[in-house]
Amino acid sequence: GDTDSIFLWNPTEEQLTKLQEWVSQRLGLEIEVDKEFTYVLFTGLKKNYIGRYVDGGIEIKGLVAKKRNTPEFLKQLFEELIEKLKSAKTPEDFIEFKNWLEAEVKGLYKSLKRKEVTLDKLAFKVGLTKRLEEYKKTKPPHIKAALQLKSYGHNVQEGDIIPYIKIKGRDGYKAIQLAKLYEIDPEKYIDIISSALSQLLGAFGVEWEDIIGVHRLRETTLQF
């Protein structure tokens, strides 16, 4: 949870009341129940988890795939992941979900290695918050891509959304309008998947090495 909160596993109303009274008497603080989950998937990182509310809603904390400029291929996987978690209720459901997730990530890994994912699903999309001429010192990827477009005669203005692709070579990035599928760097996209999902996979006892072909098992951290 947040810095000023704790997770409690299946407490009774009596236990909650006693805890509130103890905190009030000993610490002079008032505490209350803020959220109630049917389950929580802890990834092992601070403020990084997925929880399912009793009404079926899902809360996501800190996961990379939630970010706005996430490529479409990963965003689609994450949206499907969330929908499946909404309906998961029993240990058997989670075993089925774990098998599905592992298969999906393995399939995506292979598709990226073979360069089978289309450019539009690989693109990062970031907006220009000021005129291109004002970016003088640091030039993040979307600015480099915008400069590429300008050099080819494209009109680039403040407020434009610049889609770009990660490619091999010194530049490392290219505007999607100028890129070809064979230019992409699969390893850079595989690193994105690993960064976004390895902690979540780990919560189910699946290591990233399992995805790329080296199998190890460890205890899961899922609690019912």
Structural tokens at position 115: 């360069």
Structural tokens at position 148: 């590429």
Res. 222: pLDDT tops 70: no
Structural tokens at position 167: 């490619």
**Contact, 84 vs 102, CB < 8 A?**
no
Task: Label residue 66 by pLDDT band (50, 70, 90).
Answer: low
CA 165, CA 112: separation in Å to the nearest integer?
A: 13
CA 113, CA 116: separation in Å to the nearest integer?
A: 8
Task: Label residue 219 by pLDDT band (50, 70, 90).
Answer: very low
167-216 tens-digit pLDDT: 998 889 999 999 999 999 999 999 999 888 887 787 777 888 878 875 44
Task: Label residue 67 by pLDDT band (50, 70, 90).
Answer: low
Average pLDDT over residues 37-64: 80
Q: Name the residue with tokens 């292979």.
A: 110
Q: Which domains does the chain have, with CATH numbers?
A: 65-114+187-212 (no CATH), 119-183 (3.40.1820.20)
**Contact, 91 vs 224, CB < 8 A?**
yes
CA 133, CA 158: separation in Å to the nearest integer?
A: 10
pTM attached to this predicted model: 0.77
CA 129, CA 143: separation in Å to the nearest integer?
A: 10
122-171 tens-digit pLDDT: 999 999 999 998 988 788 999 999 999 999 999 999 999 999 999 998 88
pLDDT for 216: 43
As a whole-number percent, the residues of the chain with pLDDT over 90 amount to 50
CA 97, CA 64: separation in Å to the nearest integer?
A: 20
pLDDT for 218: 44
85-102 tens-digit pLDDT: 888 888 888 889 989 999
